[in-house]
Amino acid sequence: MSSKVLEIDALTFGYSRDVRIFDNFSLTLHLGEIKAIVGPSGVGKSTLFELILGRLKPQLGTIKGLTVSQVFQDPYSSFHPSYTIREQIGDVTSMEGYESFLGQMGLEEAHLDTLPHKLSGGQLQRCSILRALLMKPQLLLLDEPTSALDNLNQLDIMKLIVEHLEGMGVLLITHDHTLAQWCADEIISLT
């Protein structure tokens, strides 16, 4: 069995024929590996995730990925306002082992039985990361996952993700070069 969880080969994509965001872009990600994508706003970092998730189609090239879970920058857009956090996590995972994550993530049992709008942005983002980890993906896509968290929580959450790398590979979008240098096996700059 190959340890590749993501393989992008000769990707070409643009929103118009004249302007290409990606031109012959390739990337391979393996189990146990973190790669960080850095670059200024508007360079195509989030577009890359949309391509990986199949929401956009490449003009040329191929993208092959295994079981994917993602964490978006804005946690409010990733939860339905009318259902509790527990209901929404339970819709996509068995919740098996969630208790072991709560303390490490600075969450309490009561947070799971709350509606999303009653949590702070940081609490909701930690719930989003909890959901992604409980899905046991082989490929975890993180789009600025710690931007809503204070420095201590950022470090704790990234340590937790690093501890669980054995069964997955992580592709991280971040503007935080220090975070990328701390956790990534490779940093890919898009300009």
Question: In this predicted model, what pLDDT tens digit does every residue of 50-80 receive, in sequence order?
Answer: 999 999 999 999 999 999 999 988 888 899 9
pLDDT of residue 151 exceeding 80, the answer is no
Residue 1 is predicted with a pLDDT of 43
CA-CA distances (angstroms) from residue 46 to 38, 41, 74, 143, 174?
A: 11, 9, 12, 7, 10
| Average per-residue pLDDT for the chain | 91
pLDDT of residue 175 exceeding 70, the answer is yes
The share of the chain scoring above pLDDT 90, in percent, equals 67
Q: Which of 45-49, 147-151, 162-166 has the lowest mean pLDDT?
A: 147-151
Q: Do the beta carbons of residue 118 and residue 149 sit within 8 Å?
A: no
| pTM, full prediction | 0.91
Tally of residues, the chain:
191
Domain count, the chain: 1
What tokens were used for 131?
């959901």
Residue 34 is inside which H or E element, if any? strand 34-38
CATH number of the CATH domain containing 8: 3.40.50.300
Q: Give residue 38's domain range.
A: 4-189
CA atoms within 13 Å, Cβ hemisphere of 182 = 13
